[in-house]
Amino acid sequence: REMPESGTAAATRKPNVVILATGGTIAGAGADAANSATYTAAKVPVDKLIAAVPQISTIANVRGEQVFQIASESFTDTQLVQLGKRVSQLLKQDDVDGVVVTHGTDTLEETAFFLDLVVKSDKPIVVVGSMRPGTAISADGALNLLDAVTVAGSKEAIGKGVTVTMNDTIQCGRDVNKRTNVVPSAFYSQWGPLGMVVEGKTYFFRSLAKRHNTSSEFDIDQIDSLPLVGIVYGSGNMIPGVYDAEVQAGAKAIVNAGTGNGSVAGYLVDKLKDIRSKGTIVIRSSRVPDGIVLRNAEQPDDKYDWVVANDLNPAKAKILAAVALTKTNDTKELQRIFWEY
Ligand SMILES: NC(=O)CC[C@H](N)C(=O)O
């Protein structure tokens, strides 16, 4: 292909970005400008979201699609798979350079990681939300959306994996999680953001070291549903019956959001061994937000045939387990996948 001369229309062509709207606070509306926490999520349609940020048109040619209009806590695997397929389909088109997904912030980290694992494209995918509805004082959605379009249309973001633009930063979709429930600086990754967006320009400083998108072995075009994976939250004074309930409901794997290093209470070990012996995969993660859970630390994973989640929090471990289980239920393979992604 011939390179366009600099300064020609082709060289300065604006990127084409599709905005897939799913709801959340970024599409929320409250009764009063002082309502930063009391409002209804998933109200404003995508065309209005785009129209509210006219600066977008200087950065990219955008068009919107209303995929869902829901709060993100109401996402199920059905929505994840449908959204993943739509993103994949769009990115296969020559006339689409990048995709932005507007999303509620509660489970944004799950969707971002899911798309990172299953969409086989190097083109930028940006998942974005806001902490305040557009009706609030200091609403953050407009800038977050402008930043999302900037990243989705930028050459620098190609191959960098799914990103999340919140609070002027470019976060890594795999790593990031919601840490605070009420402020614009809610999203955090223990490994740090990938960069920043300032006035329509991206500044990247790091890249994701884990397999993602085109280097991933998973492909949404081959996935029509996900197996059920449960999470059990660790604390003092637990009841073994919670694990039974998950298995009876059909969970193919249980992520144990253990205390500390993913520790398991002595009185629960037999229950988890029993569950594993009957076929359910046991994955040790931790309720502690940072750090890594390593094999045979706290519990003899080799002996019990359990898997560890590395640095993935329970919600992310659940996503990876569900995706991995579409291909294998061999625990050695699952552990390899938990190290590589
Ligand atoms: N800040 C938000 O987006 C939270 C609103 C809602 N609970 C959601 O996740 O969609």
What are the pLDDT digits (tens) for 258-274? Answer: 999 999 999 999 999 99
The dihedral over CA atoms of 328, 330, 333, 339, expressed in degrees to the nearest 10, equals: 100
Tokens representing 191 are 């490994």
**Alpha carbon distance 306, 38 (integer Å):** 42
Q: How far is the CA of 280 from the centre of ligand 1 (A)?
A: 32
Q: Is 105 a catalytic residue?
A: yes
Atom from ligand 1 closest to the CA of residue 73: 9
CB 196 within 8 A of CB 169: yes
Q: How far is the CA of 27 from the centre of ligand 1 (A)?
A: 9
DSSP state of 6: T
Q: How far is the CA of 77 from the centre of ligand 1 (A)?
A: 18
Q: Measured between alpha carbons, how far is residue 197 from residues 73, 111, 156, 159, 335 in Å? A: 27, 21, 12, 17, 35
SS3 38: coil
SS3 220: helix
Q: Is 105 annotated as a binding residue?
A: yes
Of 72, 132, 181, best ligand 1 pocket probe by most atoms within 8 Å of the beta carbon: 72
Q: Is 185 annotated as a binding residue?
A: no
Q: How far is the CA of 294 from the centre of ligand 1 (A)?
A: 32
Q: Which of 25, 111, 135, 259 is catalytic?
A: 25
pTM of the model: 0.96
Q: Residues enclosing ligand 1, CB less than 6 A?
A: 23-25, 41, 71-73, 104-106, 129, 131
Contacts for 203 with CB less than 8 Å, ≥ 6 apart = 195, 196, 197
Confidence (pLDDT) at 11: 57
Confidence (pLDDT) at 55: 97
**110: phi then psi, degrees, rounded to nearest 5:** -70, -50
Tokens representing 68 are 């869902």
Q: Which of 22, 102, 105, 163 is catalytic?
A: 105
Atom from ligand 1 closest to the CA of residue 23: 10
CB 93 within 8 A of CB 162: no
Tell me which residues of the chain have a pLDDT lower than 50. 1-7
Q: Which residues does residue 2 pair with via DSSP β-bridges, in sequence order?
A: none
CB 282 within 8 A of CB 304: yes
Confidence (pLDDT) at 12: 77
Atom from ligand 1 closest to the CA of residue 129: 3
Q: Is 106 annotated as a binding residue?
A: yes
First to last CA, the chain: 34
**Alpha carbon distance 50, 57 (integer Å):** 9
Atom from ligand 1 closest to the CA of residue 106: 9
Q: Measured between alpha carbons, how far is residue 334 from residues 86, 197, 283, 310, 318 in Å? A: 27, 36, 10, 12, 12
